[in-house]
Structure 1
Amino acid sequence: MLEQFKQTPLLVLIVEDNTALAANIIESLKEFNIECDYAKNGIQALSLAQLYQFDVIISDILMPAMDGITICRKLRALDVTTPILLLTALGHIEDKVTGFSVGADDYLVKPFEMLELVARIRSLSEKQRINPSRLVVEDLQVDLKTHTVSRAGKPIFLSPTCWELLVFLMRKSPSLVSKEQIEQHLWRHNGTPETDVTKVHLYRLRQAIDKSFDCPLLHTIRGQGVVLGRRHVKASA
């Protein structure tokens, strides 16, 4: 039974003012192929969550100075979309509603079994992998919830077709994508487009995401297709 939890290695941020409890959780999670970084307070948590890409953030609620609810609210305000699991001794439904309302993804009441914590961590990580809310390629970001695009913090506005094209290319990055793959995706419900339509949309997308920046991200490989990213890495399967 334990083997099913020892899957892909994960990186988790533990936010807990009780150092003994945090150490116990960190040591226990190692057995399940889950490595942890540790933040003793909210300030450390906010800093680490912006510096590193964690699979899940686990935060206690009842902490001095900055509680878990505030940490969660601030992380979401900073556009940190990492799944957040709140740990607390509070089991009232009102407390759970408050946690979910500020952006928490799950809630576990103390005391808990380690296997349940591991199962919830794995579940949150898998949901994030399958349905990420944000796509990132270098300094280019797409928020799938708000339908916004930015590069180096600068907003970029796209037509609906260019938006769909960009999302498709970002999901494929850093793989090479052929013109045929693009056309099959964009016009899968409307048949084959006119000859130059795909080329026009690629041109418009390139103008939007590359023209005002020093380093281009959208590259055309003659006779093969396009690549989104700084380097041409591999051909798409």
Structure 2
Amino acid sequence: MPHVLVIEDDEVTAREIALELAAHGISADRVHSGNEGLKAAQEPHYDAITLDLMLPGMDGLSLVKQLRERGISTPVLMISALGDVDERVRGLRAGGDDYLTKPFAPDEMAARIEVLLRRQQPAQTKLRAGDLELDLITHIARRGGRELSLLPTEYRLLEFLMRYPGQVLTRAMIFESVWGLRFDPGTNLIDVHIARLRRKVDAEGEPSLIRTVRGSGYRLG
């Protein structure tokens, strides 16, 4: 079972994070200050960390920077009530791996942690989902031996979906990973590209591999 360290000074938020992770089969330990978090995060048995940026004793940016300087590469999901883009950039430069703004949906937080956990898996040169195959070297996609003609954005979108088969990927996660932009809830850009990708992936008579999860996002398989 994956093991996550939750560094959060608000007891209610820390408990909610731990409960949501438990519902996804992920165990969690909680600490409530920056100094406690720095000490605990150096233990080798944690697979990921959720880190509040505003902590007593030591702020989250300083904490994650110290971890990286000490060679600790445990993936970090930074969480903050600050919606400032500069704060997000500063945090990622300090060595964080992803960022979530309060208030957040618990399932969004858990989905991002699951993505960070999967990134720990060994590098692959090919991705497969059923009869769908993506060659990460040649950038060629095939389904049932049939080569798919994908535009660059469609390729990136398919690659992101195939890296996390069976997992619900939220629109915010897709937008940030594929387009590299902060998600705008008013845009239909993702839905348009998903529809185009489906038309190329699913030939007549083939079952659809890209599924819509109402109110959440999309999943492959």
**Distance in 2, Cα, partners of 1:121 & 1:21:** 16
Which residue in the other structure is 2:102 paired with?
A: 110
Q: What CA distance in whole angstroms lies between the structure 2 residues aligned with 1:46 and 1:116?
A: 25
2:144 equivalent in structure 1: none
Letter of the aligned partner of 2:77 in structure 1? L
Q: CA deviation at 1:39?
A: 1.4
Q: Whole-Å Cα distance in 1 between the matches of residues 63 and 101 of structure 2?
A: 18
**Structure 1 segment 122-137 matched on structure 2, within 5 A:** 122-131=114-123
Structure 1 position 24, deviation (Å)? 1.8
- Structure 2 residue ranges without an equivalent (≥5): 124-221
Partner residue of 1:91 out of 68, 79, 83: 83
* One-letter amino acid of the counterpart of residue 85, structure 1: L
Report what 1:52 is aligned to: 44
1:119: Cα distance to partner? 1.0
Q: Give 1 or 2 for the bigger CA radius of gyration.
A: 1
Structure 2: distance between partners of 1:115 and 1:51: 26
Taking the aligned partners of 2:112 and 2:73, their CA distance within structure 1 comes to 17
Instruction: Tell me which amino acid in the other structure corresponds to 1:39.
Output: V
Separation in 2, partners of 1:27, 1:87: 17
Corresponding residue to 2:69 among 54, 69, 77? 77
Per the TM alignment, residue 64 of structure 1 is displaced from its structure 2 partner at its CA by: 2.1
Aligned to 1:153: none
What is the deviation of 1:130? 2.7
Please give the alpha-carbon distance, in whole angstroms, between the structure 1 residues aligned to 2:102 and 2:30: 19
SS, match of residue 14 in structure 1 = strand
Runs of 5+ unmatched residues, structure 1: 1-8, 132-237
Could you list the structure 1 runs, at least 4 aligned residues long, displaced by more than 2 angstroms after superposition: none
Using the size of structure 1 for normalisation, the TM-score is 0.50
Q: Is the 8 A contact 2:2 2:25 kept in 1?
A: yes
Give the residue type in structure 2 aligned to 1:22.
A
Offset from partner CA, 1:9-36 (integer Å, 9 cap, x none): 3110000111121112112221110100
CA–CA separation in structure 2 for the residues paired with 1:130 and 1:103 = 20
Which letter does structure 1 place at the counterpart of 2:58? Answer: M
Q: Secondary structure at the match of 1:51?
A: coil
Q: Residues 20 and 106 of structure 2 are in contact (CA less than 8 Å); yes or no, is this contact kept in structure 1?
A: yes
Quote the offset at 1:51 in angstroms: 2.0
Out of 19, 23, 28, the residue aligned to residue 27 of structure 1 is 19
1:189 aligns to what? none
- RMSD between aligned alpha carbons? 1.2
Letter in 2 for 1:102: A
Q: Is the 8 A contact 2:16 2:106 kept in 1?
A: no
- C-alpha change, 1:67 and 1:16, in structure 2 (3 Å) is same
CA contact 2:20–2:110 (8 Å) conserved in 1: no
Question: What residue is the counterpart of 1:3 in the other structure?
Answer: none
- Which of 4, 14, 37 is 1:12 aligned to? 4
Count of residue correspondences: 123
Distance 2:95 2:37 in 1: 16
Q: Is the 8 A contact 2:64 2:96 kept in 1?
A: yes
Alignment of 1:1-237 (within 5 A): 9-131=1-123
> CA–CA distance in 2 between the matches of 1:69 and 1:27?
25
Identical amino acids, percent of aligned pairs: 36
Distance in 1 between residues matched to 2:121 and 2:77, nearest whole Å: 16
Q: Secondary structure at the match of 1:33?
A: coil
